[in-house]
Structure 1
Amino acid sequence: MAEDDWEGVMGGSQFGAPGSFTPPPAAGDAGSNFISGLLTEPVSSESAQQASDAGNRLKTLAEGGQFAVNEEGFQAYMKACDFFLDGCDRMIVDLRILAEKARMGGSDYAKAVAVFNVKVADGEGDSLLPNLMKMRDGVRQAREAMVIARKNYRETEDAHTMTFSQLNKGLQAQ
């Protein structure tokens, strides 16, 4: 999905304590910043760490009451997170198979290819398995953040409903 396509999805999110609106701590939208972080260089260790950190930051914002999302935004986020997590879990299973040194023959070349395949799947740096797992953990944190953010939004709506109800009672009493 293109970055511009996320604007419609992001319309249901807000920042601030329930019952108030506070601008986000940084320019932009925490949710779309998180998602755009998933779409850049997904195999690099740096990008995987950024996705993990972004998920943690999003959860911290939600836990602090600084991020809220309405039901429509929540459903869109959950769909995106679940789509990523389902695919990621399948890839991790496949990569674990690749991370085992394959029997490719007795030649030096075959042995070198087998070692290389293990390093690509589960080595250090930009290898696939640890980076996918790091990204998966970030998306899991973001998914948890969405549950909290929906609760924050509902609390905000409840606070507004109570305020309007009290205002209406006051007007009727006059």
Structure 2
Amino acid sequence: MRETTQGGIDDWEGVMGGSQFGAPGSFTPPPAAGDAGSNFLSGVIAGPADAEAAKQVSTGGSNLKALAEGGKFAVNEEGFQAYIKACDFFIDGYDKMIRDVRVLAGAAQMGGSTYAKAVAQFNATVADGDPEALIPNLLLMRRGVEDAREAMVIARKNYRETEDAHTVAFTALNKNLQGQ
């Protein structure tokens, strides 16, 4: 994963690196586009201005967590670190984003004309005036990112358990071969 000089995520390349879908101990190629991981990432990239993308992030994060909890998603340390970095990038910036958007939610004093009042009301509505507004979308996205972060912790544990099982199996196989 590369970062911009401003510290933002410039490229999601490598985020999926080191991840494994399927039961621990097996390798199943990642599902095609439309899976939980792809939905999650494409929703994050689309951003909070798109209500559908915010729902996609929330659902995608929840789906990743369910896959990990069910033992159907594992990630190695390298993949884990990349995912955690991306999740933390969003979560760390969330508080500032929500504060900034909440300022917009209060109708600004833009003058007494009908037009000025209409613009101030429009800004407030876009920020927090309905379920399609920025604040509800940011809340949905945060929930999805938090779920995805939890999924990564579980998926790393799944991967480690798989590695441990392979080590035990190879050790037993090695003993059998040495005993012959």
Letter of the 1:27 counterpart: A
| Residue equivalent to 1:13 | 19
| Residue equivalent to 1:36 | 42
The DSSP-based 3-state class of the residue aligned with 1:10 is coil
Q: Which of the numbers 48, 54, 65 marks the counterpart of 2:60?
A: 54
The higher relative CO (CA closer than 8 Å, separation ≥ 6) is in 1
Query: Structure 2 regions of 5+ residues with no counterpart?
Result: 3-10
- Between Structure 1 and Structure 2, the one with more helix by share is 1
Q: How many residues align?
A: 171
The DSSP-based 3-state class of the residue aligned with 1:8 is coil
Spell out, residue by residue over 1:144-174, the C-alpha distance to the aligned partner (whole angstroms, 9 max, x if none): 1000000000000000001011111112222
The DSSP-based 3-state class of the residue aligned with 2:72 is coil
Letter of the 1:89 counterpart: D
Distance 2:99 2:41 in 1: 24
Sequence identity (%): 71
1:77 aligns with 2:107: no
Letter of the 2:71 counterpart: G
Distance 1:91 1:102 in 2: 18
Please tell me the root mean square deviation across aligned C-alpha atoms, in Å.
Answer: 2.1
CA-CA distance at 1:21 after TM superposition: 3.0
Spell out, residue by residue over 1:2-27, the C-alpha distance to the aligned partner (whole angstroms, 9 max, x if none): 9xx64534231111222233455x42
1:146 aligns with 2:152: yes
Say whether the 8 Å CA contact 2:18–2:75 is kept in structure 1: yes
1:27 aligns with 2:32: yes
CA-CA distance at 1:58 after TM superposition: 0.7
Query: Structure 1 regions of 5+ residues with no counterpart?
Result: none
| Residue equivalent to 1:93 | 99
TM-score, with length taken from structure 2: 0.85
